[in-house]
Amino acid sequence: MTDPDPSKKVADRYLKREILGEGTYGVVYKAIDTHTGQTVAIKKIRLGKQKEGVNFTALREIKLLKELKDPNIIELIDAFPHKGNLHLVFEFMETDLEAVIRDRNIFLSPADTKSYLQMTLKGLAFCHKKWVLHRDMKPNNLLIGSHGQLKLADFGLARIFGSPDRRFTHQVFARWYRAPELLFGAKQYGSGVDVWAAACIFAELLLRRPFLQGSSDIDQLGKIFAAFGTPTPAQWPDMVYLPDYVEYQNVPAPPLRTLFPTASDDALDLLSKMFTYDPKARISVQQALEHRYFSSAPLPTDPEKLPRPAPKKESRTSDFDLQQGPTVLSPPRKSRRVMPGRDGFEGNSFQGVKDDDGNFGDFRQTVGDNTGKNQPVPMSVDFSIFGLKSPNRPTINSADRSHLKRKLDLEFQQPE
Ligand code: AMP
């Protein structure tokens, strides 16, 4: 990967600025659209071996994404191939929900949580109406603009591009947000997977830490069952027919109230409907939006008034002169989202450190894929100081989609 040269124009139009981060499909950098003066984020998608795969079908899908216009969906402004890579140009967003949840200076009131959840569901509802699934819902894919508006990012990309090569698969399909049907290997699934993930995000907003932090697929299911009780065939009749179904020990569900002591009754009711095991019985996004949680007091906070992380010094877009080009280079936006985690966090706040890729480790346990490569790390290490990466936030890769039984075998074989 080469660093962007800020003086270079891409496709005769976009002036490259700093790298914003490395995402699921490749590097993302800030740029100025010299036609409009607008700041944009360009996602450079490595086509690699999939070069032949990004064919007319993919381009048609991208065209569809360009037409998905909604206030709660990030706008895909442009898409073009350049030097063998596909470039997707999005509106630039200041921060994301993960940064909000992690920021210990931010107090999220019940009305704030309601507002963030409502915007998330509104964006999802629009896409589900257009038959597009997200499949990678997680707080750092919920971007937040300068007026507090939350927008879903990376919509449909998982479906178009699938899993990138294995080196990057740790960033695909966050395990902690995966629905139980996916963890049991369902090949056919629907919008319910996004509802489950949205429920995990709702829970994370309430707790200020990821709710179900499984260290493997099996552990993830174990965590889900510990929270909601092992599902019975009566509760979820299709479960036993799923490809990777394995029987788990029966554990009863603790009262939901004990897991979310500060949540209102309405919040708990909606949460339980979104966390329904049987995807056929799970509430839809539209029904969730119509739930009384959103109409009862307190009403959702106006996005403009929502608490957000204090803005760091950015490259000032107003400095941009269409004749002269950009003058200020700011440090990568990513750096502001590294949470040192030096002090212990109190109460329900976050206890991890985020790395350059937008992942963070849970230092109370060994996290990662099933290779056993990730080692437990002491809580107070600030990786950014040493230019090291913290253990990755565990995510699901394409291999995870194969049989859980095979994965169990792999664990015993201790690969590499
Ligand atoms: P992604 O490929 O979506 O995971 O993006 C990688 C990183 O690039 C994210 O963690 C964001 O920090 C940043 N990023 C992606 N899209 C945008 C955007 N539209 N505006 C600003 N930053 C973005």
| 107 and 190 within one domain | yes
| 356 and 310 within one domain | yes
Return the higher-pLDDT residue of 169 and 53.
Answer: 53
| 150 and 73 within one domain | no
- The verdict on residue 198 lying in a domain is yes
Q: List phi, psi (to 5°) of 352.
A: -125, 175
| 102 and 77 within one domain | no
| 256 and 127 within one domain | yes
How many folded domains does the chain comprise?
A: 2
| 117 and 58 within one domain | no
Contact between 122 and 72 under an 8 Å Cβ cutoff? The reply is: yes
The one catalytic residue among 136, 244, 355, 369: 136
| 130 and 84 within one domain | no
Q: Which amino acids bring their CB within 6 angstroms of ligand 1?
A: 20-21, 23-25, 28, 41, 43, 74, 90, 92-93, 140, 143, 153-154, 358
Average pLDDT, the chain: 74
Rg (CA), the chain: 21
**Given pLDDT bands bounded at 50, 70 and 90, which one contains residue 408?**
very low
- The verdict on residue 9 lying in a domain is no
Return the higher-pLDDT residue of 71 and 313.
Answer: 71
| 115 and 71 within one domain | no
By percentage, how much of the chain surpasses pLDDT 70?
Answer: 65
- The verdict on residue 4 lying in a domain is no
Residue ending a domain, choose from 65, 91, 117: 91
Per-residue model confidence (pLDDT) at position 7: 54
Residue 63 in 3-state DSSP? helix
- The verdict on residue 415 lying in a domain is no
- The verdict on residue 251 lying in a domain is yes
How confident is the model over 5-29, as pLDDT tens digits?
545 677 789 999 999 988 767 789 9
Q: Which residues pair with 81 in a beta bridge?
A: 86
**CA torsion angle 297 303 307 308 (round to 10):** 150
CATH of the domain at 103: 1.10.510.10
Average pLDDT over residues 68-78: 93
> pTM (2 decimals)?
0.73
| 62 and 206 within one domain | no
* Distance separating alpha carbons of residues 229 and 253, to the nearest angstrom: 4
Active-site residue 136, yes or no? yes
Query: Residue 379 Cα, ligand 1 centroid: separation in angstroms?
Result: 26
**Given pLDDT bands bounded at 50, 70 and 90, which one contains residue 235?**
very high
Residue ending a domain, choose from 91, 116, 143: 91
By percentage, how much of the chain surpasses pLDDT 90?
Answer: 53
Query: Residue 46 Cα, ligand 1 centroid: separation in angstroms?
Result: 15
Residues spanned by the domain of 261: 98-408
Ligand 1 test: best mutation among 28, 65, 97, most atoms within 8 Å of CB? 28
Return the higher-pLDDT residue of 252 and 332.
Answer: 252
